[in-house]
Amino acid sequence: MILILGVTASGKGRLAFDLAEHLGAEIISIDSMKVYRRMDIGTAKPPKQARQRIKYHLIDVVEPSDSFSAGAFIDAASDVIEQINDRDGKIVAVGGTALYIKSLLYGLFDGAGTDEQIRDELRARAETEGLAEMHRELTKIDPDAAERINPNDARRIVRALEVHQLTGKPISSFQKQWQQCQIKHDWTIIGLRREKTDASSRINKRVKKMIGTGLVDEVKSLLDEEKPLSQQARCAIGYAEIIEHLNGQISLEDAIESIKINTRRLAKGQRTWFKTFQNVNWLDIAEDETSEQILARTKKLLCDIIA
């Protein structure tokens, strides 16, 4: 079983497709937003042509009005892995949602419980004080978590503050339990790394492509649905900013710039997460490398590992 990870827009999705096609494997998506139906452009789902050629799992599995958790992901992924193994299939997993990847590799860490009263109070504060202020508060009490959590991610900011109020400990201290764990399955982990300037350029190009292929209309369509978007779906990068634009809060140009900035912040948080991962075989990708060259290097890497 092969797992490919990397920050957003690093090229991991293309490599996963090429490698799965070469191996005759099925792909498991490890992405907290690709699970939502009809959220296609803003989540950079693989094109329909690719999904007709390769079997993908854990894409389009819930409605945008539903919530989705790491626990739900692990349950679904475990079922898929078991089914593929039962038919002696090959697996290429790919994604950038670090929490889901950690959970897939090591299992869910012991949580701190929940308190609906505290959570409701924090949600009310988010409405009145704004997420920026709450993210600043989180930075003071848990800088590690704040660095990984996007300032627009209301759900995760509220959860981190809730854990601190419940336990007096930062949520990052619970998540460090993973460092003492063993990998649950026999995964070969491949990571893609790019220079930050290259990564930023690729992010800007991706955002431009999303706008050009209809992200605004996609968000409009989602907002017109009978059931409202879940808080999790509304906070997705690309969707949150366009919603602000459609609500008349910011111009389209400012929304596009915010998407770029927030995506770069996401990439920074992913890099921080991935530094804690062990047993990753990193490939440093040059700006001018083609997908064919990256696949060839990956195949050689896998041969070297087996040897």
Q: What would the pLDDT profile of 89-99 be if each residue is shown by its tens digit? A: 999 999 999 88
- Residues 227-240, mean pLDDT to the nearest whole number: 94
CA atoms of 171 and 176, how far apart (whole Å): 9
| Nearest CA among 103, 96, 102 for reference residue 194 | 96
Q: What is the CATH number of domain 116-175?
A: 1.10.20.140
- 52's tokens: 């007709």
Alpha helices in the chain (DSSP H): 12-23, 48-53, 70-86, 98-106, 116-129, 131-141, 143-148, 154-167, 171-175, 196-212, 215-223, 231-234, 239-246, 252-274, 291-306
Whether residue 184 is predicted with pLDDT greater than 80 in this model: the reply is no
- Residues 189-217, mean pLDDT to the nearest whole number: 97
% of the chain beyond a pLDDT of 90: 70
Q: What are the boundaries of each domain within the chain?
A: 2-107+183-306, 116-175
What is the reported pLDDT for 110? 53
Taking only the tens place, the pLDDT of each residue in 244-253 is: 999 999 999 9
Domain 2-107+183-306 and domain 116-175, same fold? Reply is no
pLDDT band at 60 (very low <50, low <70, confident <90, very high): very high
Whether residue 114 is predicted with pLDDT greater than 80 in this model: the reply is no
- Beta-bridged to residue 284, according to DSSP, are 193
- Residues 181-206, mean pLDDT to the nearest whole number: 89
CA atoms of 118 and 163, how far apart (whole Å): 10
Domain 2-107+183-306 fold is: Rossmann fold (3.40.50)
- Residues 280-300, mean pLDDT to the nearest whole number: 97
- Residues 39-67, mean pLDDT to the nearest whole number: 96
Q: Are 93 and 30 in contact (CB under 8 A)?
A: yes
Between residues 241 and 180, the one the model is more confident about = 241
pLDDT band at 115 (very low <50, low <70, confident <90, very high): confident
**By mean pLDDT, which of 13-27, 90-104, 112-126, 189-203 is the weakest?**
112-126
- Residues 92-117, mean pLDDT to the nearest whole number: 82
